[in-house]
Structure 1
C-alpha cells in the first residue's frame, strides 16, 4: 500500500508543492511548526533515513538546504531548522522550517492548519523566494 506521501506525490491527495525534481519533492506540512514548514520527501518509498542509499540521502539534504535558504529569505528568519524524525509517516522525510530559537522545534505544538489560504500563501511565498534564489524546481505546477 502506498504511503500518504506517495499518494500526495502522485496527486491522489492534495499537496502544496514548493519543489519537484526527478528524485525529490518538497511540500508544505499541513500541521506546521511555523509558516513555511516544509517536508522534503524522496519519490521512492523508504521508511527510515538510515536505509536510504547515500546518493539519495545526499540529494534530499541538498534540496533541504535549498528549501532552508528559501524559508530564511521568505520569513527573514535567522536560521532554518532541519529535523529527521520519521515517526509520523513511514516514508523518509526531512522537516525544514524557519527558526528563531529551539522552541520552534516543539512538535507537540504542531496543529493542523485550518486556514487553507494561509497554506496557499506560505507556498506562494516560499516558491517566490526559491525562484529568486535561482531554483527553477520551485516553479508552480499542478502536476509533474
Structure 2
C-alpha cells in the first residue's frame, strides 16, 4: 500500500509544495511543530533512512541542505534543526524545523494549526529563497 507521502508525490493528496525534482520533494508539514516546518521526502518509498541506497541518501541530504538554506532566509529563526524519526509514516522523511528554542523540535509538543492562507504565505516565502 502506498504511503501518504507517495500519495502526495502522485498528486492524490494536496500539499504545500516547496520544491521538487526527479528524486525528492519538499513540502510543509501539515501538522507542524512551528511555522516553516518542512518535510523532505525521497520519491523512492523506503521505510528506514539507513536502508536507502547511498546515492539516494546523499541526494536526500543535498536536497535537504538547499531547502534548509531557504528556510533560514524565509523564517525568523536562530537555526534550522534536522530530525529523522520515521515512526509515524513508513516512508523516509527528513524534518527541517526552524528553531528559536530547544522546545521547537520537541515532537511531544502539540502541533500548531495554521490557516491555508498562512501555509501558502510560508510556502511562497521559502520557495522565493531557493
Q: Does 1:81 align with 2:81?
A: yes
For residues 55-112 of structure 1, give each alpha carbon's deviation from its aligned partner in whole angstroms, at most 9, with x where no partner exists: 1011111111111111110013221111000011100000002111211111122426
User: Which residue pairs with 2:95 in the alignment?
Assistant: 95
1:120 Cα deviation after fit: 1.0
Alpha-carbon distance in 2 for matches of 1:110, 1:89: 18
More helix by share: 1
For residues 25-60 of structure 1, give each alpha carbon's deviation from its aligned partner in whole angstroms, at most 9, with x where no partner exists: 110001111111100000010000010011101111
Give the SS at the match of 1:18. strand
User: Which residue pairs with 1:5 in the alignment?
Assistant: 5
Alpha-carbon distance in 1 for matches of 2:55, 2:9: 20
Alpha-carbon distance in 2 for matches of 1:81, 1:30: 18
Contact between 2:36 and 2:97, CA under 8 Å: does it hold in 1? Answer: yes
Give the SS at the match of 1:32. coil
TM-score by length of 2: 0.95
After superposition, where does 1:6-85 map in structure 2 within 5 Å?
A: 6-85=6-85
Contact between 2:34 and 2:112, CA under 8 Å: does it hold in 1? Answer: no
Contact between 1:30 and 1:112, CA under 8 Å: does it hold in 2? Answer: no
Coordinate RMSD, CA, aligned: 1.2
Structure 2 gaps of 5+ residues are none
How many aligned residue pairs are there?
130
1:119 Cα deviation after fit: 1.0
Change (3 A) 1:112 1:2: farther
